Amino acid sequence: MLTRLTQLAPAMACVLALSACSPERAPQSQPTSRPAVSQSASRPAVSQPTSGPVVSEGLVLAVTTAGAFRVRDLLPYVKALSSSGKAEENTQSLERHPPRTLAAMARAYIYEGEIAREYRERRPALPAPLDDTIAANRATETREYLVRQIKAEIGEITTDTARAYYDNNKIEFTVPFSFSMRHLSLTAYVPYVAQPGDTLELIAGKISGSPAAVEGILTDTVGKLPRWAPPQDRSRRPFIPLQLGERLLVPMSVADRATAREILRDKILPQLQEGKDFAALCERYSEAEDKGRVIGPLPFGTSPMLPEILEAARTLPINQVSDIIETRHGFEVLQITSRTDERLKPFAEVGAQIRRDLFDKELKKRSQLRDIDIWRNAQIDYKTALDPDAPSSDTVVKTRRRMWTKGELMRSPIAGELKQAVSVSQVNEAVQRDPEVYREILFEYAEQTGVYEDRDLAPRLAIQTDRFTAEWALEEAAREATAQPPSGEQTRAWYDAHIERFTPPKRYRVRQIVVTLDPAANLEDPAQRRTAEEKAFAQMRQAVRGVKTQEDFIEAAKKASQEPRTAEQGGYVGEILAEERPGKYAEVLASLAPRTPSEPFLYGRLAVVLWIDEVVSPPPTALDAARPGIVAEIEAETKARVRAQMIEDALARVGYQAAF
């Protein structure tokens, strides 16, 4: 029920509330004020107007005991069912909709208003779920109204204001230097696994040739962090003793670094002179994970780059391969594939975005100030809220009209937050997230400041509420009508009346002879196509001449069919449904008597003759198996009938007569 209430949005089912009609046709029974409504239910997908003649706003769409209902009377309802940003656009285009569409809107409004009026008359205290939904919508609409107010107060951010911001914050609009590259990388580290008795200093001496190289040892993990910490730094950067089996990256010795450079210089790079592609060399020899793929753009958005790499990136001609670049991590050979120099985006490029950002920033600031004003209506007893032993009957939150005890809040959606709160700020955050408390203080603030006196908001809320109430009443009546499941006799009668729905379609055990139209013919030429068809049909008729039995057809198919797969099986296609072969094929199947050859017919570029070995007619689904679906169908029909009758009764009460 609630799901349906929050989806009340039939396309352009927009009709003016009778209480807002002009005096000569406003029904006396319609209340003069209405409770508020839900935004989600009141925003239909408005249909696009047709590009036809403009309908007069005075055109009569319907007549009731209150008088004529005209096109102009739909305007408030269109506004109520439109998002705030589309209201004016939708009302301005209303007169371009076909009269029948407008008449359907009028009918929908009239029965919704009458059903809602009659339901409230019978049930002055609305059901809690409906009341909660209406209140939630009212809160949303009120909040949006306050936002629109703030936006109007802000007005438009001028170009001068945006320009001043641009001039004072140019760093925000500076595009940094960036580049893309592929690289051949040889590391200057040796992988090492810690052995018994190892220390970092011993490992440095053994691999690097000097204990002083300990500062360059890295962890062989993601991030490759420095493993050693100087004694003077260990108070702020804890040093964990070396663990047996720990994986490390240890700097090469001077001799090993020299050897690696020689391999790169004398064995790898000369292959470029021999015509080898740099990307292929990278893929084969590079020890970097990218293996010669283009990476970038760099360094924007990445970790800081080595200065040697940055220097080459700034100066190396695009696509030229660099000399060997030595870094503390090893050796690099680069190819810069693209480069973007640092630049300042011109104001013309960013001005519009600056205006939007400044507007949003000001909107956020003023909205926060407005929230402070709203929450001044609430008094919170922080001592009671924070005291776990406080009685559940003690008041925690109080407004001018309402109060909430600790017990009530502990049964609300914020119970968990409130229970864990240990400070005033945490209590505030929890209370402000309670939907019921928020709605009440919002409503009180809106009433204080005259929000509900707005000439657009008041009818918008009333019209939306009528839609919610009417839908609730219709669903409630439908639910009551289907409270008892249908009897066995009703189920059997429905089953018998719709037996075709429970009967699986016929299946055909089919054989065919297939001949392809002359492949040399131009089938786009009518004359050539006619000749090709006549030739194929003559060939087919000759093939089935004298065919009287299944054995005859099998023999004919083996000789004449040009479809090898089925020809070998005497033309047997298998057991198929007619809808599996749409068009002419299905038509022939449906009309062909079993064990007789069909007349030749065209199916695409093929000429076909069919033979049906047997028609298989499966029995209907048993009643017991179909019963759950039948019950659901009967209930759906009952609900639709009850809803339709309620609508007709409501229209009859107001003497509704359609003009179209």
Give the containing element (helix H, strand E) for 372: helix 347-375
* 3-class DSSP string for 53-81: CCCCCCCEEEEECCEEEEHHHHHHHHHHC
**How much is the pLDDT for 50?**
54
For residues 225-253, give the mean pLDDT: 89
SS3 state of residue 405 = strand
- How many CA atoms lie less than 13 Å away from 531 in the CB half-sphere? 11
* pTM, entire model: 0.66
Residue with tokens 């786009």: 524
**How much is the pLDDT for 43?**
39
Going by C-alpha positions, the residue among 362, 355, 447 that lies closest to residue 139 is 447
Residue 19 has pLDDT above 50, yes or no: no
**How much is the pLDDT for 405?**
97
Going by C-alpha positions, the residue among 149, 161, 135, 142 that lies closest to residue 367 is 149
Give the containing element (helix H, strand E) for 335: strand 330-340
Give the containing element (helix H, strand E) for 639: helix 623-653
Q: What is the dihedral of CA 346, 352, 358, 359, to 10 degrees?
A: 170
Beta strands in 133-241 (DSSP E): 174-175, 178-187, 189-193, 218-219
Crossing angle between the packed helical segments 347-375 and 128-154, to the nearest 10 degrees: 130
Q: Give CA separation, 269 vs 188, 189, 275, 316, in Å.
A: 18, 21, 11, 17
Residue 374 CA to residue 145 CA, distance in Å, equals 14
pLDDT in tens, 54-67: 889 999 999 999 99
**How much is the pLDDT for 171?**
93
- How many CA atoms lie less than 13 Å away from 385 in the CB half-sphere? 26
**How much is the pLDDT for 304?**
66
Q: What is the mean pLDDT of the chain?
A: 89
Which are the contacts of 318, defined by CB distance < 8 A and separation ≥ 6?
336, 337, 338, 339
pLDDT in tens, 386-399: 999 999 999 999 99
Question: Quick check: 521 and 529 in contact, CB under 8 A?
Answer: yes
Residue 238 CA to residue 173 CA, distance in Å, equals 41
Q: How many CB atoms lie within 10 A of CB 486?
A: 19
* 3-class DSSP string for 560-608: HCCCHHHHCCCCEEEEEEHHHCCCHHHHHHHHCCCCCCCCCEEECCEEE
Residue with tokens 């009778």: 18
**How much is the pLDDT for 240?**
87
Residue 626 CA to residue 629 CA, distance in Å, equals 6
**pLDDT band at residue 32 under the 50/70/90 scheme:** very low
Question: Quick check: 103 and 62 in contact, CB under 8 A?
Answer: yes
**Domains in the chain, start-ordered, CATH in brackets?**
2-151+452-478 (no CATH), 178-340 (3.10.50.40), 376-448 (no CATH), 504-616 (3.10.50.40)
**How much is the pLDDT for 7?**
47
- Here the tokens at position 433 are 């997230």
Which are the contacts of 636, defined by CB distance < 8 A and separation ≥ 6?
none
Peptide bond between residue 297 and the one before it cis (omega within 30 degrees of 0): yes
Question: Quick check: 430 and 397 in contact, CB under 8 A?
Answer: no
pLDDT in tens, 473-486: 999 999 999 999 99
**How much is the pLDDT for 91?**
83
Which residues on neighbouring strands pair with residue 385, listed in sequence order?
none
Question: Quick check: 465 and 116 in contact, CB under 8 A?
Answer: yes
Strand-strand pairing, 395-398 and 379-380: antiparallel
DSSP letter at 222 equals: T
**How much is the pLDDT for 360?**
97
Q: Give CA separation, 21 vs 16, 100, 462, in Å.
A: 7, 20, 13
- Here the tokens at position 20 are 């807002």
Identify the residue with better confidence: 659 or 233: 659
Handedness of CA 137, 143, 146, 147 (dihedral sign): negative
Residue with tokens 């000369």: 270
Q: What is the dihedral of CA 530, 531, 534, 538, to 10 degrees?
A: -170
